Amino acid sequence: MSSATCPWFAPPEIGRPASALIRASFALLVWHTVPGGMGLESQPHPVGIARLFDLTFLSDPGVLPAVKAALVPVLLLYVSGFWAPLATGLMLAATVLPGTLDNSQGSTQHSQQIISLILLAQFLYHLWAAAFPQRHPDRAQRERWSVFAAQQAIVAAYTVTALTKLLRSGIGWISDSANFPIQMVKNIRMEFYNTLQPEAVSGFWGSTSAFAQRLFLESPALCRVLLTCGLALELFAVLALLGRRWAALYGAALIAFHVLVRTMTGLNFRFHIAALFIFLVLPWLMSLRFRRPAGNTPAAA
Amino acid sequence: MSRRLLGKVAPLGIFVALTALCLALKENFPFTHYPMYSDFSDQSYYVWIGDAEGEPIAIQNLTGLRTGRIKKVYNNGLQAVRAEVRRQTGSAPRKRDLTAEQRRAPGGETLAWLVGAAPDGALPALRAASPLRLYQVDITIDRGRVVESEPLSIAEFAVP
């Protein structure tokens, strides 16, 4: 492809073993995302499809255990790579329905949307590929694009995070970020009142948070610089789509960012970290293990 | 945009579509605009649940529900009160300026929601602690120090 028509952004070059490992890893993540039961008998603040349908049937005894049992063959189908539109569609439903009911309680959780967004992206891609089979006739090509669709969903989530900050607070977000210690205190205190365990305040997370609070209160400029770096990382997340190495670099940086925020606030980002590792870091790691002969990697970098 | 430039960014259709949908649809699962930490106010608060004596309850151990989630339900109630005041008077007070009376109804609704969302197995312990109380603690920064207010009892709820 000439440089004039070669896109800046292209799906990463991924071999079949790497592709299978990525699907298996994500299938495990989806399995952990779907709850085995819920005790929510109403949806007082319906969101998404709960505005149209009553989803409280999911709290009936036996419903979600049956969903999880039915999910096993679906996940195996997904890992196999066959019937991808069906597998991703069912997985999407299995995560969106309980997630929607959970978020229809008047308190929005933000830990699992990224899993459903990834599945939505893959579902849409595979529908498109099924509708226009002549566009991506090769299975290996579809597997690469499926990973690329997931990467785009992840990058979209981080871009939205940054844009929302700028749309709501403007550039003043940077100067206001010196108030971050307030959020750190809030999170550590709420963690304590969850369990009343003194470790929440005096344990590792509490101690590191207290240290960071003191540091940021003594040096608000340092607080602003660190948080602005985080904002920039989110805002330019699209760079992760420039290729396999960029994806790995950006994925590692975002994982480090989450670990740092976890250390300072006690907030948990396990689904985000897992998704970043599977779709951004793993393709590059697998390329080290399964190197192709030179000249056979059209979009390797 | 030139066709050449379009050709270079065309593979990003999913990224563009999901970004636009998340920003437009905001909090409609699976879409979200991730509003956390988008506004660093110089004041915030946290909540905790107390028993009839005002002693804190390890609410996550008892119900599986976390204080962060309880706060979001309460906060939504406060936003509804602000919206109602705005509808009646034309301007909405800041959350921190709401009166104790204006906070009471959202606080009571939050406790009622908590009891309704708790698993059946937690109800005997919640009844033993009844009436449940919702406490709010305000946090500010003053002269380089984080300052927390005394816990303020917002509402109470007798567990049926």
Which ranges of A104-237 would DSSP assign to H, the alpha helix? Answer: 113-131, 139-169, 172-176, 180-195, 199-202, 204-218, 220-235
Gap from A150 CA to chain B (nearest CA, Å): 9
Residues B58 and B116 occupy one common structural domain = yes
Gap from A102 CA to chain B (nearest CA, Å): 9
Residues B61 and B13 occupy one common structural domain = no
Burial class (CB in 10 A: 0-12, 13-18, 19+), A245: middle
Could you tell me if B29 lies within 8 Å of chain A, comparing CB atoms? yes
Report the domain count for chain B. 2
User: Token digits for A61?
Assistant: 């005894």
Q: Are A153 and A121 in contact (CB under 8 A)?
A: yes
Residues B73 and B15 occupy one common structural domain = no
DSSP codes joined into one string, A50-111:
GGTS--GGGGSTTHHHHHHHHHHHHHHHHHHTSSHHHHHHHHHHHHHHHHHHHTTSS----S
Could you tell me if B123 lies within 8 Å of chain A, comparing CB atoms? no
Residues B89 and B24 occupy one common structural domain = no
Residues B115 and B133 occupy one common structural domain = yes
Residues B17 and B94 occupy one common structural domain = no
Residues B65 and B114 occupy one common structural domain = yes
All residues at 6 or more sequence positions from A190 whose CB lies less than 8 Å from its CB, including other chains? B46, B47, B48, B66, B67, B68, B71
Residues B111 and B75 occupy one common structural domain = yes
B68-87 burial, b at 16+ Cβ within 10 Å, e below that, comes to: bbbbbbbbbbbeebbeebee
ipTM: 0.90
Q: For chain A, 301 residues long, give each residue's pLDDT as a single digit of tens.
A: 444 455 788 898 888 889 999 999 999 999 999 999 888 888 988 999 999 999 999 999 999 999 999 999 999 999 999 999 999 999 999 999 999 999 998 888 888 999 999 999 999 999 999 999 988 888 889 999 999 999 999 999 999 999 999 999 999 999 999 999 999 889 889 989 999 988 777 777 778 888 888 899 999 999 999 999 999 999 999 999 999 999 999 999 999 999 998 888 878 899 999 999 999 999 999 988 766 544 444 444 3
Residue B5: domain span: 1-36
User: Token digits for B44?
Assistant: 């915030």
User: Which residues in chain A have Cβ-Cβ distances shorter than 8 Å to B19?
Assistant: 156, 159-160, 163
User: Token digits for B53?
Assistant: 């004596």
Could you tell me if B11 lies within 8 Å of chain A, comparing CB atoms? yes
Distance CA B92, CA B89 (A): 8
Residues B48 and B86 occupy one common structural domain = yes
A42–B73 C-beta distance less than 8 A: no
Residues B61 and B1 occupy one common structural domain = no
Residues B149 and B128 occupy one common structural domain = yes
Gap from A238 CA to chain B (nearest CA, Å): 8
Residues B91 and B70 occupy one common structural domain = yes
